[in-house]
Amino acid sequence: MSRLPLVSHTDPDAVIARRHGAAISLRRFLADIERVVGTLPDCQHILNVCSDRYHFAVGLAAGMVSGRISLLPSTYTPETLRHLAAFAPDCHVLTDGDPDAFSLPALPFPALHTADDALPAHCTVPALAADQRVAWVFTSGSTGTPVPHPKTWGRLVINVRAEGIALGLDPARPATLVGTVPPQHMYGFESTVLVAWQSGAAFDAGRPFYPADIAATLARTPAPAALITTPFHLRTLFDEGVALDPIGLVVSATAPLPVELAHLAEARLGAPLLEIYGSTETGQIATRRSAVTQEWTLFPGIRLSERDGQTWADGGHIEVAVPMSDVIEQVDAQRFLLRGRNADLINIAGKRTSLGYLNQQLLGIPGVRDGGFHLPDGERDGHITRLVAFVVAPELNERSLREALRERIDNAFMPRPLIFLDSLPRNATGKLPRDTCEALLRSYLASRSGTQ
C-alpha separations of 248 from 98, 266, 269 in Å: 37, 10, 8
Does domain 349-450 fall under CATH 3.40.50.720? My reply is: no
Q: In the prediction, which pLDDT does 1 show? A: 60
* The one-letter amino acid at 17: A
What pLDDT is attached to residue 77?
Answer: 81
How many beta carbons lie within 10 A of that of residue 451, not counting itself? 6
Return d(Cα 148, Cα 125) in angstroms, integer: 29
Task: Report d(CA 63, CA 61) in Å as an integer.
Answer: 5
Q: Which residues of the chain have pLDDT under 50?
A: 142-143, 381-383, 452
- Among residues 266, 140, 254, the alpha carbon closest in space to that of 190 is found at 254
Looking at the domain that runs over 3-339, which CATH code has it been given? 3.40.50.12780
Strand partners, 6: none
Main-chain phi, psi angles of 346, to 5 degrees: -130, 135
Q: CA–CA separation, 331 vs 304, rounded Å?
A: 11
Whether the Cβ atoms of residue 96 and residue 70 lie closer than 8 Å to each other? no
pLDDT value at position 352? 72
At residue 411, the pLDDT reads 85
Nearest CA among 29, 17, 39 for reference residue 92: 39
The pLDDT, as a whole number, for residue 355 is 85
User: CB under 8 Å to 145, separation ≥6 — which residues?
Assistant: 83
pLDDT value, residue 398: 93
Torsional class of 49: left (φ above 0), alpha (ψ -120 to 50), beta (otherwise): alpha
Q: Rounded to two decimals, what is the model's pTM?
A: 0.84
Q: Do 3-339 and 349-450 show the same overall fold? A: no
Q: How far apart are CA 97 and CA 372, in angstroms?
A: 33
**Domain-wise residue ranges, the chain:** 3-339, 349-450
Rounded Cα gap, residues 446 and 440, in angstroms: 10
d(CA 290, CA 98) in angstroms, rounded, equals 41
Please give the Cα distance from 147 to 74 (Å, whole number).
10
Nearest CA to 60 out of 256, 207, 196, 162 is that of 196
